[in-house]
Amino acid sequence: MEMEYNCPLCNGLITISERCPECGSLMEDWGRVQDYLDPYQPYLDISITASEERRDEKKCVHLYLCPRCGRDTRITVNQILGP
Ligand SMILES: [Zn+2]
Ligand SMILES: [Zn+2]
């Protein structure tokens, strides 16, 4: 059986508390950046370009948004081997 890499953040194993560099508010995890690269979800006007990170399957890139000032940032999570 083949082991797969799983993102601990997607699976709720860890939480990441990221502070907004602009206003210091706690930023919210909006999930994987990959989900927003889907052409059928064009509602978010965030400048995300396809990067090398996206092709690296051992990393999961999460989008964090500040609920107060709307600033966005990306957090790269190293995936872990799971069953
Ligand atoms: Zn993830
Ligand atoms: Zn902010």
Q: What is the pLDDT of residue 52?
A: 47
Q: How far is the CA of 62 from the centre of ligand 1 (A)?
A: 6
Q: What is the pLDDT of residue 33?
A: 87
Q: Is 49 exposed, middle or buried (0-12, 13-18, 19+ CB in 10 A)?
A: exposed
Cβ atoms of 82 and 12 closer than 8 Å:
no
DSSP secondary structure string for all residues of 13-29: S-----B-TTT-PBPEE
Nearest to 37 by CA among 28, 48, 52: 48
- Give the mean model confidence (pLDDT) for residues 2-9: 87
Separation between Cα atoms, residue 8 and residue 6, nearest integer Å: 6
Q: Which ligand is nearest to the CA of 19?
A: 2
Lowest mean pLDDT among 3-7, 44-48, 72-76: 44-48
Q: How far is the CA of 37 from the centre of ligand 2 (A)?
A: 23
- What pLDDT, in 10s, does the model give residues 29-70? 999 987 776 665 555 555 555 444 445 568 899 999 999 999
